[in-house]
Amino acid sequence: MAESEELHRQRRRADSFGAAARAYDDHRPRYPDAMFDELLTTSGMRVLDVGAGTGIASTQLVERGAEVIALEPDSRMAELARDKGLTVEVATFEDWDDAGRVFDLILFAQSFHWVDPAIALPKIRRFLGEAGTLALAWNRLFPVSPSRADFATVYRDFLDATSPLVTATPTGGTGSGMDIDAVMAEIERAGFVVDSRTYPRDEPYDGERWLDLVFTYSNHLVLSPERRRELRSRLGELIGDGPVQVGGDTLLIIARPR
């Protein structure tokens, strides 16, 4: 299956995270404090965290006083979120019964590319109050040294030729390959006023830490165990004993109903 196909249609990738739920929780980066400063404008805001995974963003929201419902379709991911004391409901956003609830903030942290926007955006408008906010966030990390092009020499033997990791396309290294301008335009057409922010990220990873992170990405998880082991070994040989310098940012898209 070509990675260029819309990700919400690639159910094997969408459903791959549960089998690696603990590694996902251990290794996925958290979101910058400044992002939550932007989103949480009053105490006690009612927040729906869609595609909450193991509750990474939900936990950060609760720590800041928000009232959060974590919505997660995978029961294995949801179990870890519940273990953190979070309120979790298990369903896809498309099928979820809102029971008439309204929210001040609906957040998709690393998850909007897994929903069908044609279904999701009308539901979001219905769930937001008059002054509610839709927020989409992605941690977009990429290797600087070794470079994306260096890593692509290995990935081309394992991933589809359209993968951003093979083409070394500067999409942030997450594998989502989303056209952000197109996403923002689609949200605007759905009746929202849209803006964006970025929060720079720049830090060294040791080789094992970087590999632990990238092997929580869906395009790695859907490989067979044998292929995953081979890919990890090849990437480790490329990295060697040095660190991986990592750049990128956290992208935040903010949308409010007109």
The tens digit of pLDDT for each residue in 115-134 reads 999 999 999 999 997 789 99
Q: Which residue has the tokens 């928000």?
A: 66
- Asked whether 226 and 169 are in contact (CB, 8 A), the reply is no
Predicted confidence (pLDDT) at residue 7 exceeds the cutoff of 70 = no
Task: State which amino acid sits at residue 217.
Answer: Y
237 in any annotated domain: no
Residue 166 lies in a domain: no
pLDDT tens per residue, range 142-172: 999 999 999 999 999 999 998 889 998 765 4
Contact 87, 103 (CB under 8 A): no
What residue numbers bound the domain in which 189 lies? 7-143+174-202+247-257
Q: How far apart are CA 104 and CA 92, in angstroms?
A: 20
- What CATH number does the domain containing 44 carry? 3.40.50.150
Residues 87, 137: Cα–Cα separation, whole Å: 21
| pTM for the predicted model, two decimal places | 0.92
Of 6, 14, 2, nearest to 178 by C-alpha is 6
Is 148 part of any domain?
no
Question: Domain for residue 168, yes or no?
Answer: no
CA–CA distance, 177 with 5 (Å, rounded to integer): 10
Domain assignment present for 53? yes
Residue 157 lies in a domain: no
| pLDDT at res. 175 | 43
Of 73-87, 95-109, 155-169, least confident by mean pLDDT is 155-169
- Phi then psi for residue 231, to 5 deg, are -65, -45
Q: Is the pLDDT assigned to residue 97 strictly greater than 50?
A: yes
Does 112 reside within a domain?
A: yes
Rounded mean pLDDT of the chain? Answer: 91
Instruction: For residues 55 and 81, give the distance between their C-alpha atoms in angstroms, rounded to a whole number.
Output: 5
